[in-house]
């Protein structure tokens, strides 16, 4: 199942699940589900690239590349197995149907994981597009540098 939020695509899949052999008259009832959530966004990144060949002047060109950033999370959800009123045979189930059960039974879990992945993906994108926002440095203070320069002149 694919969901889009802002510029981020969220793909939900179910790699495995656990069943209970029988609940009431129902056979192979899904008890828990593992959900994979892969979130991503693709964007154009434009930057200057300088190249130089031996014996030639450096050449700077503006380059635009398509980049994709991703975030992945896996989580497990338990489903209520008692009081099933609309039972679907295990062999007739679809991934979409089981995902909908998971989302309906644990809506905040879905929202929380999706929001966390989205925030992470958007930050990764921002780190590519605005690297100086994330650059950390511990420079010598200007007064210390001036003091050092003054003492070396004397």
The edge-to-edge listing of strands for the beta sheet with 59-78 is 2-5, 8-23, 26-51, 59-78
pLDDT of amino acid 31: 93
Strand partners, 74: 36
| 3-state class (DSSP) for residue 136 | coil
Block means of pLDDT (10 residues each) for the chain, length 154 residues?
A: 88 95 85 97 93 86 95 95 84 94 93 96 95 92 91 77
pLDDT of amino acid 150: 87
pLDDT of amino acid 53: 83
pLDDT of amino acid 81: 86
pLDDT of amino acid 25: 82
pLDDT of amino acid 154: 63
Strand partners, 22: 27
User: Would you list the domain boundaries of the chain?
Assistant: 2-135
pLDDT of amino acid 26: 78
């Amino acid at each position: 199942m694919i969901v889009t939020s802002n510029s981020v695509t969220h793909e939900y899949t179910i790699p495995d699940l656990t069943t209970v052999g029988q609940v009431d008259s129902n056979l192979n009832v899904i008890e828990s589900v593992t959900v994979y959530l892969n979130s991503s966004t693709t964007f154009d990144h434009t930057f200057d690239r300088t190249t130089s060949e031996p014996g030639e002047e450096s050449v700077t060109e503006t380059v635009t590349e398509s980049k994709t950033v991703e975030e992945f999370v896996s989580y497990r959800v338990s489903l209520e197995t008692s009081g099933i009123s609309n039972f679907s045979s295990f062999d007739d189930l679809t991934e979409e149907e089981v995902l909908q059960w998971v989302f309906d039974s644990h809506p905040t879990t879905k929202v929380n994981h999706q929001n966390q992945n989205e925030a992470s993906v958007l930050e990764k994108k921002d780190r590519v597009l605005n690297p100086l926002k994330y650059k950390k440095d511990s420079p010598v203070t200007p007064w210390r540098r001036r003091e050092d320069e003054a003492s070396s002149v004397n």
